[in-house]
C-alpha cells in the first residue's frame, strides 16, 4: 500500500470516528455541562503527574464518580503498564480504522477506566487539523459514560500542544519544591495563558516535606505570576513525599487503595474532596463566555 493510500484510509477512518460526512467540517468541540475535564500536566518530567492521575482517579471514584483517565503518554500508555494491565489496542489501530475508539478503553475496576491515547509525536503531527479535531470529537463521544476526564499529558510545552489537553477546562499543574520544576512551571503558565487567558490553573505541589512547604511554595509562585501574568491561579493542594507511593508503584496499584492511611493518600483524598465539593456547588464549571473563548483557542490550536 502506498503512503497516499494510507493517508486516505486514515482520513476516512477519522471521518467515521467523528461520525461525519466526508465534506463536513468538524464542529466546535463541545464538552457537556457537568463533565469535569482536568488536564494534569507539568513543566518538567518526573514530578509525579502519573501518580497524581492514578490516585486522584481512585479517590474520585471512591466518592462515586465515574472517571476516565485519558493517558497521553507517548507510545502504548504508561498507566496500563504501571498498573499491570494489558492495553490490547494502540491508538494507531484506531487511526487506521481497524478498531473503534471505545474498544481501546481498559477497565481498571472500582469506577476507573483508561483510554490509552498516547501516540508518538511523529504520528500526531502527521494528522491534519481536521483529523485532530475528529479524534477529539471521537473522544468526546465517550463523555456521557463518565463524570470526569483526567488527562495525563506528557510533560513540557510541546506535549501540551499535542491537542489532547485541548478539551480540558482546567489545567492542574504538578510542581515539586525543586527549583527547575518551579521555573519550568512558570514558563508553562506564561506560554499557555498567553494563548488563552481564560484557562484556570491549579497548582498541585507534590513531594513536599510538610504542608507548610507546599503553602510557602504556592505563595511564592502566586506572587510572581500575579506580578507578571493575568491568570486564574489557585492552590489545589499539597501531596507529601511518601515512600509508600514508590512501594505502590512497585506493587502496581494505586497508593490510595493499597495504603489508604498513608500520608500522601490523605493529600489525594483532600484533593478529591475539594473537586467533588466544587462539582456539587457548580464551582468547577467555567462561565459560558470563558468556555466559548477557550474552545475557540482550542480549535485554533488544533490547527497549528
Ligand atoms: N509524593 C511522592 N512521594 C514519593 N515519591 C513520589 C511521589 N510522587 C511521585 N513519586 C515518584 O516519582 C517518580 C515519578 O513519578 P511519576 O511517574 O508519577 O511522574 P511523571 O511526572 O508522570 O513522570 P513522566 O514525566 O516521566 O511521565 C515515581 O517513581 C513515583 O513513584
Give the nearest ligand 1 atom to 53 CA: 18
The pLDDT value recorded for residue 4 is: 47
The pLDDT value recorded for residue 11 is: 62
- Residue, of 242 and 129, whose pLDDT is higher: 242
Strands 36-41 and 67-71: unpaired
Q: Cell digits for 115?
A: 483510554
Read off the pLDDT of residues 88-104 as tens digits, 9 standing for 90 and up: 887 777 877 788 888 99
The pLDDT value recorded for residue 119 is: 73
Strands 67-71 and 106-109: unpaired
The pLDDT of 8-25, averaged and rounded, is 58
Hey, CA dihedral for 21, 22, 23, 28, is it positive or negative? positive
Read off the pLDDT of residues 208-231 as tens digits, 9 standing for 90 and up: 999 999 999 999 999 888 888 888
Hey, CA dihedral for 26, 32, 35, 37, is it positive or negative? positive
The pLDDT of 182-199, averaged and rounded, is 83
Q: CB of 146 within 8 A of CB of 66?
A: yes
- Asked whether residue 192 carries a pLDDT value surpassing 60, the answer given is yes
How far, in Å, is the centroid of ligand 1 from the Cα of 98? Answer: 34
The pLDDT of 36-45, averaged and rounded, is 89
Q: Is the CB of 31 under 6 A from ligand 1?
A: no
The pLDDT of 185-193, averaged and rounded, is 86
- Asked whether residue 255 carries a pLDDT value surpassing 90, the answer given is yes
How far, in Å, is the centroid of ligand 1 from the Cα of 24? Answer: 43
What is the pLDDT confidence band of residue 162, given thresholds at 50, 70 and 90? Answer: very low
Q: Using CA positions, which residue lies closest to atom 9 of ligand 1?
A: 48
Burial 95-118 (b: 16+ CB within 10 A, else e): bebeebbeebbbebeebbbbbbbb
Distance CA 96, CA 207 (A): 41
163 closest CA partner among 131, 200, 190, 194: 131
Structural domains of the chain sorted by starting position, each given as residue range(s) with its CATH number in brackets: 33-302 (3.40.50.300)
229 closest CA partner among 174, 187, 190: 190
ipTM over 0.90: yes
What is the pLDDT confidence band of residue 297, given thresholds at 50, 70 and 90? Answer: very low
- Residue, of 298 and 77, whose pLDDT is higher: 77
What is the pLDDT confidence band of residue 195, given thresholds at 50, 70 and 90? Answer: confident
Best substitution site from 244, 245, 271 to test ligand 1's pocket, by max atoms within 8 Å of Cβ? Answer: 245
Q: Cell digits for 230?
A: 493575568
How far, in Å, is the centroid of ligand 1 from the Cα of 118? Answer: 18
Q: Is the CB of 244 under 6 A from ligand 1?
A: no
Q: Which residue has the cell 481564560?
A: 198
Amino acid at each position: 500500500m502506498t503512503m497516499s493510500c494510507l493517508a486516505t484510509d486514515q482520513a476516512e477512518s477519522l471521518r467515521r470516528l467523528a461520525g461525519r460526512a466526508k465534506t463536513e467540517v468538524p464542529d466546535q468541540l463541545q464538552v457537556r455541562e457537568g463533565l469535569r475535564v482536568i488536564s494534569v500536566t507539568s513543566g518538567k518530567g518526573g514530578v509525579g503527574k502519573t501518580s497524581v492521575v492514578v490516585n486522584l482517579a481512585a479517590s474520585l471514584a471512591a466518592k462515586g464518580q465515574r472517571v476516565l483517565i485519558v493517558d497521553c503518554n507517548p507510545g502504548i500508555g504508561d498507566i496500563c503498564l504501571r498498573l499491570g494491565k494489558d492495553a490490547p489496542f494502540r491508538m494507531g489501530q484506531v487511526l487506521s480504522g481497524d478498531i473503534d475508539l471505545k474498544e481501546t478503553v481498559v477497565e481498571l475496576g472500582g469506577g476507573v477506566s483508561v483510554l490509552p491515547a498516547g501516540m508518538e509525536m511523529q504520528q500526531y503531527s502527521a494528522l491534519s487539523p481536521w483529523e485532530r479535531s475528529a479524534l477529539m470529537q471521537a473522544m468526546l463521544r465517550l463523555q456521557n459514560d463518565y463524570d470526569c476526564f483526567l488527562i495525563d499529558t506528557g510533560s513540557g510545552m510541546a506535549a501540551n500542544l499535542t491537542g489532547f489537553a485541548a478539551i480540558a477546562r482546567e489545567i492542574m499543574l504538578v510542581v515539586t519544591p525543586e527549583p527547575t520544576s518551579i521555573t519550568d512551571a512558570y514558563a508553562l503558565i506564561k506560554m499557555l495563558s498567553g494563548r488563552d487567558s481564560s484557562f484556570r490553573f491549579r497548582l498541585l505541589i507534590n513531594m513536599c516535606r510538610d504542608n507548610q512547604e507546599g503553602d510557602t511554595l504556592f505563595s511564592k509562585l502566586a506572587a510572581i505570576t500575579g506580578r507578571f501574568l493575568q491568570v486564574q491561579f489557585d492552590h489545589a493542594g499539597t501531596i507529601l513525599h511518601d515512600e509508600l507511593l514508590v512501594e505502590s508503584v512497585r506493587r502496581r496499584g494505586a497508593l490510595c487503595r493499597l495504603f489508604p492511611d498513608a500520608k500522601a493518600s490523605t493529600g489525594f483524598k483532600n484533593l478529591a474532596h475539594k473537586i467533588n465539593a466544587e462539582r456539587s456547588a457548580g464551582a468547577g464549571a467555567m462561565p459560558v463566555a470563558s468556555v466559548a473563548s477557550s474552545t475557540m483557542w482550542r480549535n485554533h490550536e488544533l490547527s497549528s
